[in-house]
Amino acid sequence: MQISKFMTPEIIFGNQSLGQIGESLRRLGATRVFLVSDPGVENAGWIEQIIHYLQQQNLDYVLWTQITANPKDYEVHAGVAEYRLKECNAILGVGGGSAIDAAKAIALLGTNEGHIVDYEGVDKIRHPLPPMVMVPTTAGSGSEVSQFSIIVDSARKVKMAIISKSLIPDIAIIDPQTLMTKDQQLTANTGMDVLTHAIESYVSLAATPLTEVHSLQAMRLIAKHLRPSVASCYNADAKHAMAMASLQAGIAFSNAILGAVHAMSHQLGGFLDAPHGEVNAILLPYVLEYNYLAVPEKYRHIAECLGENTSGLSLRDSSRLALKAVKDLARDLDIPESLSAIGLQPDQIEWLSTHALQDVCMATNPRDMTVNDVAAIFRQAL
């Protein structure tokens, strides 16, 4: 008998839900909040609004925005030093996956000793973390509901996957209105990241009926609403739907884990400092092609969720439409079609392939892979 666990934070979803931030932290016992964000979110005006909600609850706060698009180990350690110096006792992460992943890593080292690299892998956290509230401003990484924190080991130039149920935040607050200040490229890249989460969690070896329902619904929402969301930052219905898609895909992959796309993109993102969603979007069709042999029935379901008509078609013909749907969406969003477009060189593939095979996300990929298989996909995508 297979035993599985399914975990989520408390979730507060809806327009103007940012107003729940102060009260949420207060009931978690916070008195001085370490607010982790980035300059882009601050310039968009969201931090000023959030500070107002903290002050309404008479909460002290320390604002820290010293992170980059792919958060580095030394940035995390600088944040931990500030967290301890200012004697904070709760973490609030506001932003995209980078800000939230960094906030979770700071929380980890706020109560656990050592270097962040010591926690790479699965279930290495020994002591409870401080209260955490996470507020995503992209749709998105899903980090606000996941047990993942992805941090770059700057010495190895590798993205580390730190996985532990201790990293699941206490409360996730998702306000779709925050998506309206994101540009088209970021909206497209993060939307394709959501699609990758939905697909990889659905075909994962660790998928269960509880995760599959979220994966499939996320795909349906993406198929209908990602294009309109990229087309207009003022499309409230599309933003609301994509926020929900990101949430559901995040819940799914947190519990079912991911696959080869993320195992490979973690290496590329760390090595080239490339946008995570864009790398995923380029790799996804090639990994789908490779994994097809393992789960053709699930590919038919993917095709149907992405809007393809499979009526009267054989399993092979209908399932192959999943690849067509993904490629059509990426093309419509002007996603680069090759890794060379973002700077990958052929002589880097061997190193990247070796490290990708060691990534924890590879363990749940539906089809076995060797280092030569990974290298072949990198070359096809080049």
What pLDDT is stored for residue 4 in this prediction? 79
Q: Which tokens sit at 126?
A: 């020994």
Is residue 2 domain-resident?
A: no
Q: Are residues 208 and 168 in the same domain?
A: no
Res. 57 pLDDT band, cuts 50 70 90: very high
Q: Domain ends where: 178, 204, 239?
A: 178
Residue 318: is its pLDDT beyond 90? yes
Q: Domain ends where: 178, 212, 247?
A: 178
Q: Are residues 79 and 215 in the same domain?
A: no
| Distances from the Cα of 122 to the Cα of 113, 118, 149, 353, angstroms | 17, 11, 11, 21
Q: Are residues 223 and 350 in the same domain?
A: yes
The answer to whether the CB of 355 falls within 8 A of the CB of 269 is: no
Q: What is the mean pLDDT of the chain?
A: 96
Q: Are residues 263 and 171 in the same domain?
A: no
Is residue 4 domain-resident?
A: no
Residue 1: is its pLDDT beyond 70? no
Is residue 321 domain-resident?
A: yes
Q: Are residues 20 and 93 in the same domain?
A: yes
Q: Are residues 200 and 299 in the same domain?
A: yes
Is residue 3 domain-resident?
A: no
Is residue 46 domain-resident?
A: yes
What would the mean pLDDT of 316-322 be, rounded to a whole number? 96
- Read off the pLDDT of residues 232-286 as tens digits, 9 standing for 90 and up: 999 999 999 999 999 999 999 999 999 999 999 999 988 888 889 999 999 999 9
Q: Are residues 215 and 276 in the same domain?
A: yes
What pLDDT is stored for residue 275 in this prediction? 86
Res. 76 pLDDT band, cuts 50 70 90: very high
Q: Which amino acid is at 374?
A: V
Q: Are residues 171 and 279 in the same domain?
A: no
d(CA 187, CA 200): 20
Res. 65 pLDDT band, cuts 50 70 90: very high
Residue 42: is its pLDDT beyond 70? yes
Distance of CA 291 to the CA centre of its chain: 21
Range of the domain at 225: 184-381
What pLDDT is stored for residue 339 in this prediction? 94
- Read off the pLDDT of residues 178-209 as tens digits, 9 standing for 90 and up: 999 999 999 999 999 999 999 999 999 999 99
Q: Are residues 166 and 218 in the same domain?
A: no
Q: Domain ends where: 156, 178, 200?
A: 178
Residue 3: is its pLDDT beyond 90? no
Give percent of the chain with pLDDT exceeding 90.
94
Number of domains in the chain: 2
Is residue 360 domain-resident?
A: yes
Pick the closest to residue 169 from 197, 133, 223 (CA basis): 133
* C-alpha dihedral (354, 69, 323, 357), degrees to nearest 10: 10
DSSP one-letter string for 270-309: HHH---HHHHHHHHHHHHHHHHGGG-HHHHHHHHHHTT--
Q: 289-328 as b/e, with b when 16 or more CB fall inside 10 Å?
A: ebbbeebeebbbbbbbbbebebeeeeeeebbbbbbebbee
Q: Are residues 156 and 209 in the same domain?
A: no
Is residue 99 domain-resident?
A: yes
- Read off the pLDDT of residues 81-120 as tens digits, 9 standing for 90 and up: 999 999 999 999 999 999 999 999 999 999 999 999 999 9
CATH number at residue 169: 3.40.50.1970
Q: Are residues 128 and 31 in the same domain?
A: yes
Return all residues near 63 (Cβ < 8 A) that are at least 6 apart: 35, 37, 42, 47, 51
Return all residues near 87 (Cβ < 8 A) that are at least 6 apart: 32
Q: Are residues 20 and 41 in the same domain?
A: yes
d(CA 142, CA 249): 7
- Top pLDDT among 216 and 69 is at 216
DSSP state of 72: B
What pLDDT is stored for residue 172 in this prediction? 98
What pLDDT is stored for residue 118 in this prediction? 97
Is residue 1 domain-resident?
A: no
Beta-sheet strand order (sheet of 121-122):
121-122, 158-163, 148-153
CATH number at residue 305: 1.20.1090.10
What would the mean pLDDT of 276-301 be, rounded to a whole number? 96
